[in-house]
Every structure is written in C-alpha cells, then in structure tokens.
Chains A and B, each alone.
Chain A
Amino acid sequence: MRLDSSRSLLLRLLMLAVLVLVPPMAIASLRALDRFEEGLSPEMDRKAAAIGRDLLAQVDRAVSYGIPIDKLVGVDEFFTTLLNGNPEIRYLGLTTASGDILFLSGALSDQLAGQYRALHLTEADMTGRKTDIGAFVDLALPVRGRDGLVGQVHVGFDRGYIAAQLFGIFYDIAVVLGTSLIIAFEILLFVVVFNISGPMKLVAEVVHQARRGDFTRVPGITSADEVGHFVRAFNGAVRQVDNAYRGLMAYIDEVRTGHFDRNVAEKVGEVADRVRFLFRFNPSGAPQVLREKLSSDVRLPLFLFVFAEEISRSFLPLYAQALPAQVAGLSPELMTALPIAVFMAGIALGSLWAGAVTERLGSRKVFQFGLFPAVLGCVMSGLSHGVIELSLWRGIAGLGYALVTVACQSYISKTTSDSNRATGLGGYVGAVLTAAICGTAAGGVLADRIGYAPSFFVSTALILVSGWLLSQLLSMAEIPQSVVMAEERHGTHLLRIFSNWRFSILVLFAAIPAKMALTGYFFFLVPLSLWDSGHSLPEIARVMVLYPVVMLAVSSLSTRLADQMGWRIGQVALGGLVGGAGILAALAFDGTLPLVIGIVGLGISHGMSASPQLASIPDICWIECQRHGRTQVLALLRTLERVGSFVGPLLAAVFLQMWGGRGAIIGLGAVVLVMAMVFAMVAGAYGNGPHLETEEDAP
C-alpha cells in the first residue's frame, strides 16, 4: 500500500482510528465473552445432566422390564441419535456396576476404562458424579435395577467445546472489528486524500512553480471548507500578482509607446524583458485553472466493489450445491462448478470488450455501463431458483466485474504519469487484495448468520454505494479525453506473438496453471472439501482468507526482490512449483492441514509470481511491445490466462466426479505441478534482458 507523501499523516490517523475504535470494541467484546463463558459453563452442566437423566430413564425402564443391562439391544444407534442431536455432548457410555464399559459412543474405551473402574459409583449418587477425565468432563449416573446398582450411565462433554465456541465467536467479532477498521481506514484515506492531501499536493505544486516565477496556473479547488478558503485566498494572491504583472506590462507599453526618449523606452523595455525572463504568466490573460484527478480517488469505490464481489467467495460452490440442478444432462459436480466457470468466462469476455470500449467512451461511461450487469447479476444470484439460472447471473455479474475493474484501471493509468503509474497500480492491487481479505472473511460470517441469498443482497447494496461514490467522483470532472492511440491494430499481427516461444510457454505453463489452481482448487474444491469435512461457513472463510493475506505479504516482498535481483522468470518458475507442491500436500496429510498448506502455498505462489510475470513481458516480448504497444500485449496475456480460470473449476469437477474430493485435489495439484515443472525446466533458457530476435529467427 503506497500512500505517497501523505503516508505519515495517514499512518498517524490510522493509529488514532485504531486507538479510538479498538479499545471500546475490545472491551465490549471481552465483556460479552465473559458473560457468555459464565453462562455457558453451567449451561453445559445442565445440558449434560438433562441428557444423562433422559438416558438413565430409558435404561432404567429397560432394566425394570428385566432386560439384563449387558444384553440391551441397539444401544449404539440410540447413543448416535442422541449425540447427533446434541453436538456439545462428546460421548455417551454405559458400564456395569463395577465400571466395565458395555457400550460407548464418541470416545475410545482406552481413554475412559481405567477412570470408570476407579469411580466406585454408588446408589447414593442420585444426582450423578462429575469428574474430569483428561480433556473431558464426565457425568456418571447410577442405574438401579431390581437388586440394587446394576450399571452406570456416562455423559461426557469436551472441555474444549466451550473454548472452541468462544474462539468461533471471538473470530467473528475480530472479523467484524478488522473489517470495520479497514473500511474506516479506507474511508479515512479517501477523505484525507480527496479533501486535504490531494488539494494540498496541487497547491504545493503551484507554489513550487511560483517560487520559480511561474504564475501561469492556479489550483482549481472549489470546496467550501477551510482547504477551499485557503486555496481561494492563495488564488487571490496569485491573481493579484497576475493583475499586477498585467498592469505593469500595460504601463510599460504605455511608457514605450508614449515616451519619446529612446533611452527611457529602452530602459523600460529592459525591465519588461527582465520581468518576462524571471516570471512566467499565462499568455491567455488569466492564470489557467488546474484540476488534477488523483488515481487514489477510485480506491474506496473500488475497494467496496471488490469487497462486495468477494463476499460470495467462501460459499458460492456450496450455494450452487444447495440449489436444485435444473438440467439432468450434467453431473452434480459439474453443476456445482458451473457458476464459478461462467463467472470467469463473463470476466474474460467482459475485459476483452471493456478494453476496446474504454478507449472510445472513457472510464466514466464504461463504469456506469458496467454497474448495470454487476447489480443485476448480484441481486438475481440471490434470487436464483436453480444452478443454471445462478450460472447465468454469475456470468452477467462477471461481465460487470470486468467492465468496472477495467474502467478503474484505465482511470488510474490516465490520472498517473509514467513516473507514478506504478504507485497508482500498486494502490489498485492493494485495494483489491484488502477487499479480498475483508470480503472473504466477512462473507463467511455473514452467510452463516443471514444465509446465502441475503448475503448477495448485502453485496448488491455495497455495489450500489460504490457505484454512487464513483459516479459522483467521475462526474465532477471528466478527464480530458486522452489522445486516441493512433496505432492501428492488426489482430493477425498480434497473434503472431505465439511464435515467440518464450511468450507461449509463459502463457501455457505459468499463467494458465496459476489461474487453474486459483479457480479450480481455491474457489471450488477448497470450500467444498471444508464443508464436507463438517466445517462451518465462518471456519471456511477463516481458512480461505489466508490466501489474500499471504499473497499481500509476499507480493510486496517479492516485487522488491524482483527489482533488486532481476530474477523475474526464476520467481515465476519457483512460484509455480510452490503452488503445485502445496496443493499436493493432500498426498501426505489428512484433514484440514493439507488445505491450509495448499492455500498458503498458493498465496506464496501467486504473491511471488504475479507481478514478475507481468513485469517480464516487456523483456520477453520486446519486439511485440514495440510493435503493438505494451498494453496490448499485457491485455492479451490476461485474456489468455483466463482460459485457465474458466477451465479450472470444470476440470476440478470432472476429477471430483471420477475420484472424489481428495482425488480431485491431488489430480488438479498434479496437473498444476507438472505444468510448473515444464516451465521451470524451460525457464533456464529464457536468459536475461530484452529479447530482440524477431519471430523469424525464433526456434
């Protein structure tokens, strides 16, 4: 996140915001958690006692009918039903009077057998006896038969259950807190940059020019606040100087034309020349009003837009799974993957088109135009009745997503010069990644609390807010239409880029597998696998948020590394290998761990290779960049890699159908790793520096 010269002010403001917001929220949350814990512990005891009594009554009844306690039938099924209905109960057991285990569900006998034998429960323990056994709290109740004590009923709950519940709530609170802080920060950043630091930068620029005697321009700030007053006062001063200059020049002219003394006329002319040499004034007769748009203006709306789109990240395949599959022809796995694939296809098509349209219509129109499909796609996704319908609306939402993001990118590149474009685009990536973190984490919590469909409506509301903000911003001053690039586009010529083997290999074995891993593994298989292994929506989001977090951390580091070492292709190759190997952790471990490794690996992989991949293009395709323009080549790369985005979930779905969840992860990981290995092997031959050979002498 680069914040230009206002960095220190913003950091201080952020710290202030943290100081003001965090302590009260933390205190309130901690108090709530304390109350919760206080309430939960006795509640657990009561629950265990109630279930114990209920179970005891059933066993007592059976025993009273003369069924020997060790001959009871269907006890395990009976226990399972009870355990399923009461997730906080860890295990249920039934022992003989002496504590030998007869039936036990939910725990291993070895853990408990010794403790039970040592318990020596008597008939007098009417309300049961509570003991701590390792991580469990055990409640034992006596079973009384016709001839005294015949057995014991045991109800166990996990001491960790309360802690796990508390952690879940704590995490939810932390997500809400973190998200609101980031949003507060984004708003703060926006307000400061838009109202204070942006105008001040403009004033500073004008002052700087004035110091060198250049009075041709005044900052065009019209706000009604103190900054506006200041700028108007400042402008008044500049205009006064301008008027004085013009008065002086008029007087000199008058003297020169009216005075007959040649000497005097010359002297005056010298003064005029000297003034003209030292100071510059606008030849049009008044200082030009300077309005500069800042690339950071779009940061908040962009953040909100991406945030809205990311909300469904953790649950989209689950939502698709829950909807009825309308068409019989496709397998359920493919149906589940379809909304993601179509969304990606929508983005691919949208960005192809948006690139061309933005050149003609300008960012504002494209942005406004893109808002329609974005809002429509989002609200209708929430109202869908089937997977096909959902896929259609996701596709339309993808179209909107592409139009809006391309419009933002083009706005940024138009409001920045060559010198600060990197900073501007860095701000773009920063906003997108922060929004991905917030959106993914908040989306899981949101869907868990209010459901899938209403979460889409929240997204819609955010998109509308973002749209309103952006249209306000962009309508204030349309950027002067940049000179339409005169270069002619020869589609066929651009396509000859494929004979550049370096480019083709990069697309096929680095860019496409990276996207396949992202959409097929991370967007599709990860939420499904986590859901199938019984994780809740906030838990899924908790795991998935690792990707943008790791990527954000790694990318800033790796960009610096790449610039220092100039080892771009190497980073792309290494990134690919890390990503593929991470996914294949599923071979070595069971459960959630391989997914965590895979996601972190993917974050490292993409953080490491994304910007070096783009940055290496000018070198790899030196000739093509010269011929067609760098933008064109980069746009082609982005379009081609989206083939991977589209294919990823579909391929994963086919694997899922053939080999099940774990098999699909391993299958997809293998595909990604093999492709990355091919790239790594070829990477050595790339060499350094610009490649000047033309397609003709390429091998």
Chain B
Amino acid sequence: MIGRLFFGVVTAVLLMSGPVAAEPAAKPYRIYMALWRGWEDAAQGFKDYFTNQNIPVELIIRDAGQDRSKLPEFVAEAKQLGVDLVFTWGTTVTVDMLGTYDTVDPAKHITDIPAVFAIVSQPVGAKVVPNLASSGRNIAGTSYLVPMDTQINLLQSYRSVRKLGMVYNPLEKNSLVAADELRDLGKRDGYDLVVAPVEVVDGKPVVESIASKVRDLKAAGVDFLYIPPDTFLNINRDVLTSAALAEKIPSFAAAENPVLSSKAMLGGVYRYYTVGQLTAYKAEQILVHKIAPADLPVDPPKRLSIIINMPVVRALEVYPPMSLLSLAEVVDSGVEVRP
C-alpha cells in the first residue's frame, strides 16, 4: 500500500535521508509534504529553513502532479504514518486535504495532525481560514499575494499610469476580484482600468485570443498592462507577455513567473522561496515551541521582491527610476529580446 503511494519524486529519498543522517542523536520531526506540481521554490525554502536552523526533520514528499484524485490517498497515508505535521502546497491540495473551516470532516480530512499551508492565494476566500488572524483550528499558514495597493504603488513609482489595461480569464474568480480592486484604486490614484477578458469557447478560455485582446488594449490607449495571478495566464505567460512587448506596452505581473521566466517587465511579489521559509517558521513554532496553530496568524513575508526584467526594459526603453532600481532584483539574462 505504501509503495503504491510513492509518486515518482526521485528527490524524495535523497531529501529524507539528509537531515536525518546529519542529526542522528535527536529524533527528527516527521513532516508530510503534499505538493501540487512538483518540487519548486516554496518547497525548497521550506526545507532549507530547517537545515539552516539545525532542526532535524524527516520529510515525506508526495507530488499530486496536478491530479486531484490522488489527494484522498495522501490524507489516508499521512494519518497512517502518524506524522508530526502536514505541509500542503496550493489552494487545491489545502482545501482537499484540510477541508474548509465550515465543511471539515475528520473522515475525509486531516484534523488531529497539525498542518501548515502555503501558496493559497485567497486563504479567506477559499474558506481555509475564517480570517487571517487565526485559523480557529489545527492549521496555520502563510499568504503569498502582495496587497493590491502595494502592487499599484510600486507600479506607479515606476511610471505614472493614466490607463491601466488587464487581460484575464473570466472563468477565474481571482481575476474578477483583482479587477474590482484595481478599479477602486484607480479612483484613488486617478487612472482608468480597461479590461479585456479572453474569449471562452465551450467553457474553456481560448489561448489564441490573448494577443488580439492585448492589441485591443493598445488601441484603447493603455499605457501599462497588469497581469493578474491567473492560472490560465500563468500557463500562457509567454503568449501574453510577448504580445505586450510586441505592442510596446510595459507589463506588471502580480506573480513571479511572468517576470522571472517570461517577458513581463516588472513584478512586485513575495518570492516562493521566502514564502516557503516563512511557512517552515510557522511549522517550527508548532513543532518546537509547541504553539497552537490557531494562535499563529496567516501572514505574508515582510520583504517584498521588486523584480525588473532588464532585457524587456531595454527593448521598451522605459527605464526604472534610480531609487526603485536600487531596491530591485534585476533579471538580466544578457539575451536581448525584441518587440
């Protein structure tokens, strides 16, 4: 049964042996890590925290590979192994394994074992916690989205915007919420929001429509493009950011991928790695300092990462102010991009 549950994450065995071998004397804490799309920066930050703090842990790593049907098996395995703590990555894993606060079921969800979650974009909206001050139950976690007014202040400090454009997937609720917030902030900061939802055919967003939506925004006189933390756009980030570059529209991304691994110009994000470290800190509070998870607030990291994608900046010739540049992390592959 246990063998069946190993989902081909090769690194798992290596990771498990590391900390345990290093601290043979102390009994390691056993942490069950349920991941959604493989080992990435948040998981790495989580693991590195324990190594850096010299806290012995045994990590049991499972990857659902974006397959929701595997999650009930994870719940059963974690309970059977009797681990000390469960780590869940992403909204889907968290909701399916820990339940929402109003529908939690001890048969289907993990309740007795304390849990920490990370990379849940709307912890309150997804009903993981009733409010950010306390989960009210045996779980704690971190948030990772930068508050909208912080994002807009950053965007405005780069270059004053009069007309902000946004392409989004109308099927994703997150993006609709983001559009409302942007519109409200526009009243405060004096810009207009122009939205362009991608086309939906047969209940699915159409990738091919992205470029034309960007062209529409350009025609509407948009001087900055806002890229929401939208899963569909994250997957198709190259299409979106290339289109923005082609139209010579500078773009701001609320998530790190479009800036780090695509052609968005500017990003204001909490790095996944930092979020992972903060989540590990919460785990330490629970395991080592015996603090009840409900007493830990759900909060984001203190440090905002400003990421500037220099090849895009050079291609657009929209240069960052000196004061912003001195605070920013610069992505500069040296490879020139062309609009």
| Chain A interface (Cβ < 8 Å from any Cβ of B) | 58-59, 61-62, 65-67, 71-75, 77-78, 81
Contact = CB atoms under 8 A, between A and B. Distances in A.
A78 B322 contact: yes
Contacts of B323: 74, 77-78, 81
Nearest to A66: B314
B334 to A, nearest CB: 10
Contacts of B324: 74
A67 B319 contact: yes
A65 B313 contact: yes
Interface in B185-216: none
Contacts of B314: 65-67
Given A58-B325, A58-B326, 11 more contacts: A59-B322, A61-B326, A62-B325, A65-B325, A66-B310, A72-B319, A74-B320, A74-B321, A74-B324, A77-B323, A78-B323
B332 interface: yes
B317 interface: yes
B76 interface: no
B330 interface: yes
B322 A65 contact: no
A66 B332 CA distance: 10
Contacts of A75: 322
Given A65-B310, A65-B332, A73 B326 contact: no
Contacts of B313: 65, 67
A575 B319 CA distance: 64
18 contacts: A58-B326, A61-B325, A62-B319, A65-B314, A66-B310, A67-B319, A71-B317, A71-B319, A72-B319, A72-B322, A73-B322, A74-B320, A74-B321, A74-B322, A77-B322, A78-B321, A78-B323, A81-B323
A65 B321 contact: no
Contacts of B319: 62, 67, 71-73
Given A65-B330, A65-B332, A73 B310 contact: no
Q: Tell which of B317, B319, B320, B326 has the most Cβ of chain A within 10 Å.
A: B319
A564 B332 CA distance: 89
A71 B330 CA distance: 18
Nearest to A58: B326
A71 B321 CA distance: 10
A81 to B, nearest CB: 7
Q: Tell which of A59, A61, A66 has the most Cβ of chain B within 10 Å.
A: A66
Contacts of B332: 65
Nearest to B317: A71
Nearest to A62: B325
Interface string B291-332: 000000000000000000010011001011111111000101
A198 B319 CA distance: 84
Contacts of B325: 58, 61-62, 65
Contacts of A59: 322
Q: Tell which of B322, B324, B325, B332 has the most Cβ of chain A within 10 Å.
A: B322
A62 B310 contact: no
Contacts of A78: 321-323, 326
B330 A73 contact: no
Contacts of B321: 73-74, 77-78
Q: Tell which of A65, A75, A77 has the most Cβ of chain B within 10 Å.
A: A65
**Which 4 residue pairs across A and B have the least CB separation, nearest first?**
A74-B321, A78-B322, A73-B321, A73-B319
Contacts of A61: 325-326
Contacts of B320: 73-74
A259 to B, nearest CB: 120
B101 to A, nearest CB: 44
Nearest to A65: B310
B327 to A, nearest CB: 11
B153 to A, nearest CB: 15
Nearest to B323: A78
Q: Tell which of A59, A71, A74, A78 has the most Cβ of chain B within 10 Å.
A: A74
B322 to A, nearest CB: 4
A74 to B, nearest CB: 3
Nearest to B158: A73
Contacts of A74: 320-324
B74 to A, nearest CB: 45
Q: Tell which of B324, B325, B326 has the most Cβ of chain A within 10 Å.
A: B325
Contacts of B310: 65-66
A66 B310 CA distance: 8
Contacts of A67: 313-314, 319
Nearest to A61: B325
B320 to A, nearest CB: 6
A33 B320 CA distance: 46
Nearest to A103: B322
B266 to A, nearest CB: 13
B76 to A, nearest CB: 52
Interface string B64-97: 0000000000000000000000000000000000
Nearest to A59: B322
B48 to A, nearest CB: 28
A73 to B, nearest CB: 5
B157 to A, nearest CB: 9
Contacts of A72: 319, 322
A73 B319 CA distance: 6
Contacts of A81: 323
Nearest to B336: A66
B68 to A, nearest CB: 43
A71 B313 CA distance: 12
B138 to A, nearest CB: 46
A65 B312 CA distance: 11
A316 B313 CA distance: 54
A324 to B, nearest CB: 28
A65 B317 CA distance: 12
A67 B313 CA distance: 9
Nearest to A72: B322
A133 B326 CA distance: 30
A58 B322 contact: yes
Nearest to A94: B322
Nearest to B324: A74
B322 A62 contact: yes
Contacts of A77: 321-323
A141 B319 CA distance: 23
A607 B317 CA distance: 69
A340 B310 CA distance: 60
Contacts of B322: 58-59, 62, 72-75, 77-78
